[in-house]
Amino acid sequence: MKIAFYGTGLMGSGFVRRLLAEGHEVNVWNRSADKARRLQAEGARAFDDAAAALAGVARIHLSLGDDASVDAVLEPLSGVIAAGTWIVDHTTTAMHPTVERIGRWAARGRTYVHAPVFMGPANAAEGSGLMLFSGPKAQYDALLPALQRMTGKVIDLGEAPGRAAAFKLFGNLTILGLLGVLGDVNRLAHALGIPAGEAFGLFEHFNPGATLAARAARIESADVTQPTFELAMARKDLRLMIEEAQRGGHDLVVAPAFAAVLDAAIARGEGHLDVLAATRPLR
């Protein structure tokens, strides 16, 4: 198949290599043209003109920066994308603009599909990782064989537009939140004079991530009246962490923010509840 790929940064380049390995003919375009030209040595055909890269293609793939960059690339091409050409966007975007984009292209008689991924550049090149999909079942069935060869596993999130965008944000929020917590562990370790490697060695034996699904299920159940970790005691532990870090000349970042959430819950008289009470939506 002849494919156009827009956005040849780290992820996009990995996808292009995978598509080439699968035997596809791939036209590439990037706003920084030199990034696209580097892929010519591997068999891609680079174009300086985004519209010219569309000639004869059956699918368009994108891996760009955000909603604005997706629209900046696609909108000028609205008059030249042929009917029947699939537009498959792997960019991490916000849900509401994505829903609007799906509707806008449908009104033009074109099929825009959002399929964000949980993958790194190496995964993209080797075709491993997770890809999210939401949209009509017919679109899913038509694209699934090709998408599976790009990623290994495709998760169907249903027909409602925008769900793939939402679930990609859920996943990235979790990843970034964990990085924020690990940053605080690193700061606290330095404050206490313990090498970071030794502090992180705890996770060889104690794996909080293994409890993630169970804790999420408890949050979803909204049962906070039978505490396993009382909110007031959790706040005390955060106080100890913050104070110890300050004694060692470091300020934590994530812990004080969550402490403020617990303080508000305690002020509402919720100190006796499970700490999961603090995860309820704030009004």
Tokens for 11?
Answer: 């992820």
Task: Quick: pLDDT tens for 25-59.
Answer: 999 999 999 999 999 999 999 999 999 999 999 99
pTM: 0.93
Specify the 3-state DSSP secondary structure of 117.
strand
More confidently predicted of 6 and 228: 6
Task: Quick: pLDDT tens for 55-81.
Answer: 999 999 999 999 999 999 999 999 999
Q: Quick one: pLDDT at residue 132? A: 98
Q: How far apart are CA 167 and CA 115, in angstroms?
A: 11
Q: Quick one: pLDDT at residue 282? A: 74
Q: What is the CATH number of domain 167-279?
A: 1.10.1040.10
Q: How far apart are CA 260 and CA 16, in angstroms?
A: 46
Task: Quick: pLDDT tens for 242-283.
Answer: 999 999 999 999 999 999 999 999 999 999 999 999 998 876
Task: Quick: pLDDT tens for 106-147.
Answer: 999 999 999 999 999 999 999 999 999 999 999 999 999 999
Task: Quick: pLDDT tens for 195-212.
Answer: 999 999 999 999 999 999
Which whole number is the average pLDDT over 219-231?
89
Q: Quick one: pLDDT at residue 234? A: 98
Task: For residue 223, name the pLDDT band (cuts at 50, 70, 90).
Answer: confident
Q: Which residue has the tokens 């494919």?
A: 3
Q: Quick one: pLDDT at residue 254? A: 98
Q: Quick one: pLDDT at residue 226? A: 87
Q: Quick one: pLDDT at residue 280? A: 86
Domain ranges of the chain: 2-160, 167-279
Q: Quick one: pLDDT at residue 25? A: 98
Task: For residue 92, name the pLDDT band (cuts at 50, 70, 90).
Answer: very high
Residue 276 to residues 64, 83, 184, 228, 272, Cα–Cα distance (Å): 37, 50, 20, 9, 11
Q: What is the CATH number of domain 2-160?
A: 3.40.50.720
Element (H, E) at 139: helix 137-151
